[in-house]
Amino acid sequence: MKNKIADLRNRGVYDSAIVCQGKALEIAVRLKDSSYVQYGYFMQYQNYKKVGNKDFTAKYLQKWYDMSEMRNDTLWMASAKQIQGTILYNNEEYEEAFEKYSTSKKLYLEINDTINAGKLLLNIANLQKKIGNLGASQLSALDGLQYLESTNNLKSLSGLYYALAVASKETGRLKIAEQRLNQALAMAKDSASRSKIGILNIRKFKNTKANIFKELEQYDKAIIIYEELLVDEKNDTLETKRVNANLAHTLFLKNGFNKKSDSLLQNALSYFFSIKKTSALFSVQLKLAQLYSEINESKSLKYAIEALKNAKKTGNPTSVFEALEVKIHIKHEDGDFTNYVKIRKQIEVNKENLSYLYANERFDLDTSEKKRIASDKAKIISDKNAAQARNQNLILLLILLILLVVTFFIYQKIKRRHKVEKIKTAQATEVRIATKVHDELANDIHNLMSRLETSDPDKDNVLDKLDIIYNNARDISKQNSSVETGKNFPEELSNLFRSYQSEEVNVILKKYDIDIWKGISSHIKITIYRVLQELLTNTKKHSNAALVMVSVEKKNKELFIQYTDNGKGFDEEISKNGLQNAENRIHAIKGKLTFDTELHNGCKFNINVPV
């Protein structure tokens, strides 16, 4: 019967093969031949997979695993779990897929099969990259390299370098991404190695390398690679259209709107419609929305809306997030910001869930270690309670000392400003600080002292008030502290945005390459920092905004900064008074600040500065 089943499978008659295999299984079960039952379940899984019956495919896949477990067949257990993980990954059930992959990897390592463990780490890295968990993806890829670097498994090795390249690219480390891609491409040194890696994979590596050049604004280098890929292309039409779309987008970034970009994208769009490739449609429609954004708002908005619809069809929250982001920049409607924030939180939750699983898989603590951690936590809590029981008057004296130090520091900082044109600004700063110290800190301290004079002051209430006073003092210091303008300036600017992030306000920094600050003078960096700080402060105090988005770009020796919030806006009279200081700062560096706002409809500021 085994030969008959093999003959039916060879001829593609899988329905008959299923029937014969079922009869063979009945006999094997009756004879208690566990070896053949295990094999039979495996064959039925393959038969049902061939006929496309997903339910029975999953059923016999699980039966195959269960029988392998009963027989202590670790290799087949690992194989079954790996296949289950791949099925779940293709269904975008990433958390469940990760669990299957992790179990499979552990099983392979139990039998010292490091090659298959390394291959699985490539799957895990790609899964983590898919949901945007780029840090974990890099760690998994590096683990995989440790298992495979001394082998000749070029396909998986190059794939791991590619995973590292993509993670670096998505986190803005473009030069490192280029190096990783070069490592992957260097493996394809001859026809034999190219065959092992796969022509499609090599094309994917080159396409991504061109995308990196595009993001580095080295458009000519990117265009050369795209055009080489199109020349080499033969029958892979889907890949051709994708390369065409990337070429079109690069030409647009280099030259602005042009007919060739429009033609290439429209051609790709028609093809993807014909094959009903939803994810590809979304990508092309997003590029078309950007192409028309400066010349035809209605057409741009139409493509953005279509891209959003297709993004929702894919079920990928990251795609929906990207489409909403483009649409909001063109024209936002009621509910867009709410959906944007909601999806962003969903993506973060997905990342956190997978990070939690990865952390547990990577650092599998034993029982004694968990007990030690629990003991440490108990000690920390005990120490914290003891610290909170200290004398309130001593804490008050400490806060007063901090206040005096902050005030003295600010006074000395203002005193050192020696340029004539900054005297008025320094005087205004002194007045503002004095007002804050008097109205906020002094009053708070006086109220707290009054409470301490009572016969039985509420300790927790006093400690809470002390914490507020400390934070207020720290905020005054932060708003008047010096700005690092050297190599750490990009991080200084990122910290500024993070400091205004809260549960009520989401501050999003996008389109931000840290290399744009190279060669820009210190006084321009300080001015940009202070203006953005002032806009963020005004938003926090007055606008009631739930979302702030800031983009920083450099093109043709000019900085372009866009600041958008969804707050209540303001009228022209308020803008003349409240924004005068920011406008003066930008004008002083020969820049231009414009804004677009109306009451209850948010604010949009544009800053252009020649560099």
Task: List, in order, residues 6 or more apart from 197 with CB less than 8 Å away.
Answer: 154, 155, 158, 187, 188
Q: Is the pLDDT of residue 442 over 60?
A: no
What is the model's pLDDT at position 21?
93
Average pLDDT, the chain: 81
User: How does residue 435 score in pLDDT terms, banded at 50, 70 and 90?
Assistant: low
What is the model's pLDDT at position 191?
92
Q: Is the pLDDT of residue 311 over 60?
A: yes
Contact 272, 234 (CB under 8 A): no
Contact 284, 321 (CB under 8 A): no
Q: Is the pLDDT of residue 209 over 90?
A: yes
Which one is predicted more confidently, 356 or 96? 96
User: How does residue 460 score in pLDDT terms, banded at 50, 70 and 90?
Assistant: low
Contact 499, 478 (CB under 8 A): yes
User: How does residue 434 score in pLDDT terms, banded at 50, 70 and 90?
Assistant: low
- Percent residues over pLDDT 70 in the chain: 76
Lowest-pLDDT range of 129-138, 295-304, 367-376, 461-470: 367-376
What is the model's pLDDT at position 49?
93
Contact 252, 290 (CB under 8 A): yes
- Percent residues over pLDDT 90 in the chain: 40
Residue 498, judged by CB atoms within 10 A of its CB (0-12, 13-18, 19+), counts as: exposed
Distance CA 525, CA 517 (A): 8
Which one is predicted more confidently, 417 or 568? 568
User: How does residue 469 score in pLDDT terms, banded at 50, 70 and 90?
Assistant: low
Q: pLDDT tens-digit profile of 218-265?
A: 999 999 999 998 886 555 578 888 899 999 999 999 999 999 999 999
Q: At what angle are helices 443-452 and 392-415 packed, to 10 degrees?
A: 160
**Separation in Å, CA 425 to CA 13, 198, 422, 450, 472:** 86, 64, 5, 36, 22
What is the model's pLDDT at position 66?
96
Which one is predicted more confidently, 235 or 520? 520
Put simply, whether the predicted model's pTM sits higher than 0.85 gets the answer no
What is the model's pLDDT at position 496?
86
Q: pLDDT tens-digit profile of 329-342?
A: 887 776 766 776 77
User: How does residue 321 score in pLDDT terms, banded at 50, 70 and 90?
Assistant: confident
Distance CA 221, CA 241 (A): 19
What is the model's pLDDT at position 368?
36
